[in-house]
Amino acid sequence: MKREIYDADHESFRASVRSLLDRAVKPSADRYLEAKQLPREMWPTFGRQGLLGLQIPEQYAGSAAGDFRYNAVLGELGKVSTSLSSCHGIHTDIVARRPRRGRGAAAPRRTSRSMDQR
């Protein structure tokens, strides 16, 4: 069924997420589910595609998208596996927002995107 509530930007973003998942996640999804986690190397891949830090303010190395993108990523990942979608959600909602020890709450955080640029 064609959805009519989304515009071209939304559908384009969803398609790019779906394409990445088809290439990088689906071929090994059973292995990831058996291990009960996404592999470490997946996080930099998501970061390079701009799929991490969508809800995190820019001063903390996020994109502060504040729109449909976060839910689009979870929705598309959920089509592959709700467990893998949960892994991504936990990383984004809990792990990435937690201040690191020894660093002040206002200190900028590094995401996979900024780590790849080193």
Spell out the domain ranges in the chain. 8-116
Q: Which of 85, 73, 96 is nearest to 33 (CA)?
A: 85
Cβ within 8 Å of residue 75, ≥6 positions away: 14, 85
* 73 vs 93, higher pLDDT: 73
- pLDDT tens-digit series, residues 35-85: 877 788 888 888 888 888 777 777 777 777 767 777 888 888 889 888 878
Query: Which pTM was predicted?
Result: 0.67
Which CATH code is given to the segment(s) 8-116? 1.10.540.10
The answer on pLDDT for 107 being more than 70 is no
Least confident of 3-12, 22-31, 96-105: 96-105
